[in-house]
Structures are given as structure tokens and as C-alpha cells.
């Protein structure tokens, strides 16, 4: 499950606006695989993304478990979901809005 990813994250105390203190997972932490560890991996599975594929779809194809989508971000050194491949249509819309009349 996706919640397994956060099992090793520490809990932090957080004070709500009403003064109540709650304990939550420190999900602001970022995970990273050391470069040396990546260099020592014996085998990679190279996968060419198909237009419109989401991380969970790729994880299901590669690992038979869509909840492991976060591993794709770790080994490919993506810092957030915005770095994931956009579909052609999404990219064209993004470019036309960002650079109106220039693309």
C-alpha cells in the first residue's frame, strides 16, 4: 500500500489554530537514493513511457503494484510529480498558455 512508504517517517507534533496538538507524519521529508547505490545496481528495466501514462500505471506494468509509483521518482531523481512526462495534448496546452502566440 502507498501508506507503507510513510512508515519510517517520524511523527511530529503539530499545533492546530484552535490550540489542539496532534501527532502527524513528517511528510515534508524527501527521500533520495544515494548516487553510489544507483551506480551499483546490476540491472535496470528500461521503459519507454506511452503518451498519457501516469506513474501508477507504469508501476502496475513493471511491478504489478501501482502503489509502488514512488520508486520511479526515486530512481529517476524526480523531485515532484510536475516533472513527470506530460501527454502530448497536455504539453501543447501548457506551451500555448505559457508562451501565448510564440510556439
Above 70 in pLDDT, residue 30? no
Strand partners for 15 = 21
Dig out the grid coordinates for 57 from the structure: 500505471
Backbone angles phi, psi at 35, to 5 degrees: -55, -40
| Beta-sheet strands, E only, within the chain | 11-15, 21-25
Dig out the grid coordinates for 74 from the structure: 526515486
Dig out the grid coordinates for 55 from the structure: 506513474
pLDDT tens across 65-92, in order? 988 888 888 778 777 777 888 888 888 8
Contact assessment for residue 28 and residue 38, using Cβ atoms and an 8 Å cutoff: no
CA atoms of 34 and 87, how far apart (whole Å): 30
Percent of the chain residues past pLDDT 90, beyond the cut: 10
Lowest mean pLDDT among 35-39, 89-93, 99-103: 35-39
Amino acid at each position: 500500500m502507498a501508506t507503507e512508504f510513510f512508515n519510517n517517517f517520524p511523527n511530529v507534533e503539530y499545533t492546530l489554530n484552535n490550540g489542539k496538538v496532534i501527532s502527524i507524519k513528517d511528510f515534508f521529508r524527501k527521500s533520495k537514493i544515494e548516487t553510489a547505490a544507483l551506480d551499483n545496481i546490476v540491472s535496470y528495466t528500461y521503459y519507454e513511457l506511452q503518451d498519457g501514462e501516469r506513474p501508477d500505471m507504469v508501476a502496475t506494468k513493471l511491478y504489478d503494484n501501482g502503489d509502488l509509483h514512488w520508486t520511479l521518482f526515486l530512481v529517476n531523481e524526480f523531485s515532484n510529480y510536475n516533472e513527470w512526462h506530460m501527454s502530448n495534448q497536455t504539453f501543447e496546452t501548457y506551451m500555448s498558455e505559457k508562451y501565448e502566440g510564440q510556439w
